[in-house]
Structures are given as structure tokens and as C-alpha cells.
Structure 1
Amino acid sequence: MSTVLTTEDVRNLRTGAHFLACTIDPTAIYVYAEMIQRAMEDRSVELVTVDELAPDDLVVAVGMVTQGLFIADMPPVGDEFLGCISAIEARLGRRVRAIYSLAAANINGIVPLMVGLQSSLPVIDSDPMGRVFPLISQTTLNIGNVAIGPIALMGVTGERAVVEVESPQRAETLVRALVTELGGWAATAMYPCSAHQLKVHGVHGSISRMIRIGQILDANSSVETKLSLLADLLGTTRIARARVSHIESLSRPTDLGLPAQPSSVTLEDETTGRIVRLEIQNEILLVLVDGAVTAAVPDMVTLLNSEQGTVVNLDDVQVGDVIDIMKITAAAQWYSETGLDLAEPKAFGIPIVHPRRRHA
């Protein structure tokens, strides 16, 4: 059943997108949310399920790809995504019938609403990650062998490119190079596929899930109530409530042009004395408790303020802070052999095998 979203939905979506990413710099999420809320004064955006589309309808993922430039430093002027969608339509000779988010967190969790407002296309309540990953090849559509191309990009400079590419890994290399040349970020449209392909290989309920997370976190209720509701909704578990004792910035190199701000955070659980270590590369990739792997990408890990139950940004973490470390299981596709090949710690240059693979 389709839904017309409200400005309150956008506020909640913003919070949910922030929670699922625990980002280095969440400014862009808030900038985009304000733009969308203003645009909703005279336009509406429709959220649909993939089942409401004809199986052969052409649908396309929209999202920002960044390389060294925070979007808030130079926000889009507004027509970049429309240009990308038009380029895909011209290349394929077909009309795009609906759009979906490239990722279900961070800035890309909210971008499709603006594109839906601009284009009058419905936004599908599905995505190909179920969370956010740094690489455009790290998708459930890739796991399902759905082609990534053609890919349309439009950047800060107003220049546009269409990349004819089949291999998602090769697409990653080409797109990163183009994004750098286009000024540091680009609006993109990629993974053009049928609604049926998205239904089979996508992750569903993405946007409505983020809205519900926002409703929980923005409510005037106790932290324990929020944690209980999140556990019911997402199956979240609290790894620890711990105090930050040490923050270390590292210069560890990364492969594949991964955008990275590598660092480690050490915390102490003052109730049990356990030592918790977070390994971070734009997001939390690994959690060790007394040296044992407790969470590892593709698991999601996010941080909450232990007193307010609000999301803690990674770059705001300071020695002495008491933080709830939350673990969320990713979509089932990510724990397949192919999914782990794409997204376990080894894919990020950390030589650790995901615990699920050992027990397979």
C-alpha cells in the first residue's frame, strides 16, 4: 500500500538514517532533510512497495558517491539526479518508473525523497544494501548478479558522464576516479533493473524501517525503553555500556581506493571490567571484547549516548564518554559466502574472517 510521506516522517527518517550509519559527519543528512521538508510544502513524495509495480517496470538506484568532499561543504543545486535519470533513460530507451535508494543509511537513506519530489517518481521502500557500505560493488544486487551499469554521474562541476561497465568491481575503480575529477562528489543513478529483480535480490522495508527507528529515538522516553523497542524492531543487542579510555588515529593503508579515516577506540565496561576495542574506517568495522570478535562487518555497529539514547557521531567521541555500543544484524544475504566475500573485514583490509564463516 503506497504512502504519502509527511515532514514528520522526514524528521524521523533523518534520525534513523543517522542511527544506522553512526557517521563521521552527519551534517549532510540534516542539510538534505531541511531541503526535503521545504520542498514538501507544495509537493508530495509517494513511498511504494516493490509489489505495487509491474514486474518489468524499470527502476534505478539513486545515491551520492563521495571522494574526499563533504556534501555539506558544496551541496547539490538540485537537478543533478534528474540529469542522471534522463541519461539512463536515453541509454536504455525506456522510462524509469520508480527509484530506490543506493543505501539504507546515512545521506543515501534520505536522498531518494528529494529525487522523488523533483521527478514525481515514486520511491520504493527497498534498497540493495540494507545498511550503508563504502563501495558501490557491495550490494545484494551484486550478490544476485544484477548488472550495475550503465551508470550515470553528475558532479559539482555540472559535467555528466555515463559509464558502460558490467563488473561492479571495475565500476568501483572507474566511478571513484570520475568522482574525483567531477569535484569530490557525484549524484549517481545505477543498477537499472526490473522491479522483479529488485524484489528477488533487494532488501525490503528500508525507508519505513528508518522512519520507525527515528520515531523510537526521537520519542521522549527512557533510554531503556528505546533500547527495548529497538531490540523488538531490529534485533539489536547491547554489546556493552562502556567508558572511552583511549582514542588512537592510525595511518593504516587501505585498498581499492576505500575512503577511510582509520582509527581505534578503546573503552572499559566499568561494571564487568571488560575491555572493548572499536576498529573504525569511516564506520565501525570490528568490535573486540577482551580480544574476542563480538561484532564484525557486515554486522552494523552504532553508538548511543547512555543518558539520552541519542546517536553519537564517531568524530564526537571523547575520552571519558559513557556509550552504549549497539550491534544490529545485517540482511541475510550478507552472511552468504558471496556476501561475506564482499563485505567481511578482509574486504576492508582487516585480516579477520567473519565468525559466521567459521561456523558455516
Structure 2
Amino acid sequence: MTQLTDADLLHLATGSQFLACSVDADWLAEAFERVRAQLELGHSLPEFVAADELDDSEHVVSVGFVNNGLPPSDLHPVGDEFVRSVRELQTELGVTFSGLIPLAGANINVIVAVETAMLLGVPVIDADQMGRVFSLLYQSVFTLAGLAAGPLAATGPTGESAVVRVTEPLRAERLVRALASEFGGWSATALYPMTVAKLRAHGLHGTLSRNIRIGSILHSPDPLDRKYRRLISEEGIRRIIHARVTDVTGLSRPAPPGQPDRPSSVILEEVGSGRIIQLEIQNELLMLMVDGAVEAVMPDIITMVDPDGARVANFEDLWVGHRLDLMMLPAAPEWYTDKGLELAGPDAHHILLRNRHRRHQ
């Protein structure tokens, strides 16, 4: 059990953005600043623990934002929404949660877990249920294990809240997404309550430590090529493509009902070879093709770095003429099983992505 430091927080945020490459990087930055503001008010960063440091009989819960399928609303959180959801779920279950895990092991929900833990005075656990970011809350290793998503508690931006007695993760997804819409755009959700024993058996462990390591590499004083060599040798990056954006196209194609959607396609040219790189995007980077052949596809992790300063890039950096370094790394092994691919692979996403993937198999 260790205490998170200011440096850990910075590296955690950077590593979480690296593994997300998300449309809402501004919200991650805003959550980071809320944590910094709490530190100035006298709060301390939470303890950082591995699941095996807690007793099997203790209870833990996941926390995360769920939106209504649209870009984040103008109703921004004030910081106590997750505290309320966690406390209402404790009351519903008659238990006290001994630690928190993020709904996803990347992007804003990692920092949300830190913020909520520091306000509640409980540890953040070095684990999560996705090992990256997926769009849907049931795309979880807990779903693969047959665990219940609820009961759950949700709080909206205006202070309205609800406790939902639900078990099946797909049903929980639909209900929380509907609540987020009624709340005004998003829901601060506490879900997947379980014992530490179940978390130890079925969670993905060491994922937040990985984020800290990635962030520390990117923030290190090493030259860019040294940083990239370390990402390859230490963190499993399997390929880096240096490319320049040549075209950005929004595609008019609807997502399946109930699924969030921000679809677009980006064309880049690889520096030196001139090969054509195509990115398919729907809230996150779903697929990367090189000269029409699939190089990486969900659940693979695809991310981008701006070589000018080794800064993690996001969708706002996808403008014509901009040079970016595209990186690919594997997701957790659970996502490459038959059940994992069914839940979060190409067949679980947009029909156009599915068809393109199959044409190039």
C-alpha cells in the first residue's frame, strides 16, 4: 500500500490519455484540475493498493461517467456526484466500500476514481475491468465472468439521482444510458459492486500502474527515440507508424440503437514510404488499415502521439498536414478469447467496421 504522489497523478493522467485517445480529453484535464484543487484545499491523494492487499470479504465498487451517446454536455461536474452515488449504493446494499476501481482503465474515469477516493477517504485499487476504454459499460471482463452490474447508483449534473436494481449488464447499459439522457447528458455511476475475492478472481490487475509507467516515460527527459524504444520494450507497443494527415471525413452512418456514436474516417500518408493509412473512428480509434489491409482493430489499442514534445494527441490534432505517430498495442488477453471478441471485438461495433474487417481477414 503506497500513497499516490503529485508525480504519480500527472503520470497517471498522461498514461490514461495515452490508452484512450478520446474525444473528451478536455474532460480528463478538467478532472485532473479538480483533483489539484482538492489538494490545495487540504485533501490528500488516496492510497494506492493492489487487490491482494485487501481482505477477500471486503467490498469494492467501480465508478465512471456514462453519457447519453453524444459529446459531453455543457453541464460540467462539480466533483461530488460520484460521492453521492457511492454513498447511495452503500445504503442500498448495507455495506461500506473499502476501495474504488475505475469503470475503464484509461481516460477520465481513472482520474474520477482518484478524485472520489480522496473525497471518501478510501484507496484506489490498481485494477479495472476493461484495461483500456470501451464505449459500453457491459464491455467488461466482469460480464465475461457472469457477474452482475448492479444494483447501481447514478447521479446527474443537476443533483438528481437514482438507485437501479438491475443485474444483467446489457440491461444496465440501456437503463443508465437512458438516465444519462434524462439527467442532462451524463451520469456519475457507481456499479459492479463486489467482494475483493471476486475482483481478485476476475479483474484486470496492475492496469493503473501501467498508466503511471507510460506517463513517466512520456514525461521523462529522454530523447523522443529513446522514449519510443522504452514504450516498445517495456510496455508492449508493437508498431509505430510516422504519418501525416491528408484528409478527414465525417461519415453519415448511424450507430446501432443505444450505442454512442461519433463516426469519422481519417486518411494519413506514412512518412517516407507514402503508404496510405486509414483510421476508422467511433468515439475512439477502432481500426487502422495500411494500404487497405487491417493492421489493428478492436480490441487492439490504437493511440497517437504528437512527436513535437511527445504529447499524447487526440481527435483535435487530426487536421490536414499535421504529423502524428500512430501506435498499436494489444489489449488484455481476455479480449482475444472467443467470448471476449464477441463482446468487444469488430463484431460488437458498427456494421461498416465489421464488413471492412472481414474483407481484409
TM range (shorter): over 0.9
| Alpha-carbon distance in 2 for matches of 1:256, 1:192 | 27
Q: Cα distance, 1:212 vs. partner?
A: 1.3
- Please tell me whether the aligned partners of residues 128 and 207 of structure 2 are also in contact (alpha carbons under 8 angstroms): yes
Partner of 2:219: 218
- Stretch deviating more after TM superposition (124-133 or 310-319): 310-319
Deviations 1:119-158 (A, max 9, x none): 0011101000000111000001111111101010000121
Partner of 2:235: 234
| Alpha-carbon distance in 2 for matches of 1:218, 1:74 | 32
Partner of 1:351: 354
Q: Cα distance, 1:354 vs. partner?
A: 6.7
Q: Cα distance, 1:204 vs. partner?
A: 0.9
Partner of 1:285: 286
Partner of 2:330: 329
Q: 1:292 to 1:151 in 2, by over 3 A?
A: same
Counting only pairs closer than 5 Å after superposition, residues 131-280 of structure 1 correspond to structure 2 as 131-280=132-281
TM-score (norm 1): 0.94
TM-score (norm 2): 0.94
Q: 1:87 to 1:354 in 2, by over 3 A?
A: farther
Partner of 1:43: 43
Q: Cα distance, 1:282 vs. partner?
A: 1.2
Q: Cα distance, 1:352 vs. partner?
A: 4.3
Q: Which runs of 5+ in 1 are unaligned?
A: none
- Stretch deviating more after TM superposition (135-144 or 16-25): 16-25
Q: Which amino acid aligns with 1:228?
A: R
Q: Cα distance, 1:17 vs. partner?
A: 1.1
| Alpha-carbon distance in 2 for matches of 1:346, 1:253 | 16
| Alpha-carbon distance in 2 for matches of 1:259, 1:223 | 35
Q: 1:322 to 1:31 in 2, by over 3 A?
A: same
| Alpha-carbon distance in 2 for matches of 1:256, 1:151 | 22
Partner of 1:13: 12
Residues 1:103 and 2:127 aligned together: no
- Stretch deviating more after TM superposition (9-18 or 32-41): 32-41
Q: Which runs of 5+ in 2 are unaligned?
A: none
Q: Cα distance, 1:70 vs. partner?
A: 2.1
Q: 1:69 to 1:323 in 2, by over 3 A?
A: closer
Q: Cα distance, 1:239 vs. partner?
A: 4.2
SS of aligned partner of 2:64: strand
| Alpha-carbon distance in 2 for matches of 1:241, 1:10 | 29
SS of aligned partner of 2:280: strand
SS of aligned partner of 2:181: helix
| Alpha-carbon distance in 1 for matches of 2:107, 2:189 | 16
- Please tell me whether the aligned partners of residues 82 and 115 of structure 1 are also in contact (alpha carbons under 8 angstroms): yes
SS of aligned partner of 1:21: coil
Deviations 1:24-56 (A, max 9, x none): 131111111111123234222101100011112
Deviations 1:178-213 (A, max 9, x none): 100011111110000111111111111122211111
Partner of 2:33: 34
- Please tell me whether the aligned partners of residues 173 and 256 of structure 1 are also in contact (alpha carbons under 8 angstroms): no
| Alpha-carbon distance in 2 for matches of 1:299, 1:117 | 32
Q: How many residue pairs get matched? A: 354
| Alpha-carbon distance in 2 for matches of 1:187, 1:141 | 19
Q: Cα distance, 1:102 vs. partner?
A: 0.6
Q: Which amino acid aligns with 1:163?
A: V
Partner of 2:78: 77
Q: Which amino acid aligns with 1:43?
A: H
Q: Cα distance, 1:353 vs. partner?
A: 8.6
- Stretch deviating more after TM superposition (148-157 or 28-37): 28-37
Q: Which amino acid aligns with 2:152?
A: I
- Please tell me whether the aligned partners of residues 239 and 329 of structure 2 are also in contact (alpha carbons under 8 angstroms): no
- Stretch deviating more after TM superposition (345-354 or 135-144): 345-354
Q: Which amino acid aligns with 1:312?
A: A
- Please tell me whether the aligned partners of residues 261 and 283 of structure 2 are also in contact (alpha carbons under 8 angstroms): yes
Q: Cα distance, 1:77 vs. partner?
A: 2.2
Q: Which amino acid aligns with 2:18?
A: F
Aligned-residue RMSD, C-alpha: 1.6
Q: 1:327 to 1:295 in 2, by over 3 A?
A: same
SS of aligned partner of 1:209: helix
- Stretch deviating more after TM superposition (216-225 or 291-300): 216-225
| Alpha-carbon distance in 2 for matches of 1:232, 1:55 | 34
Partner of 2:318: 317
| Alpha-carbon distance in 2 for matches of 1:37, 1:320 | 35
SS of aligned partner of 1:78: coil
Q: Which amino acid aligns with 2:101?
A: Y
- Give me the identity figure in percent: 44
Deviations 1:322-360 (A, max 9, x none): 2111001101111111110111122111224979xx7xx
Q: Cα distance, 1:90 vs. partner?
A: 1.7
SS of aligned partner of 1:244: strand
- Please tell me whether the aligned partners of residues 131 and 330 of structure 1 are also in contact (alpha carbons under 8 angstroms): yes
- Please tell me whether the aligned partners of residues 75 and 184 of structure 2 are also in contact (alpha carbons under 8 angstroms): no
| Alpha-carbon distance in 2 for matches of 1:69, 1:161 | 23
Q: Which amino acid aligns with 1:70?
A: P
- Please tell me whether the aligned partners of residues 264 and 280 of structure 1 are also in contact (alpha carbons under 8 angstroms): yes
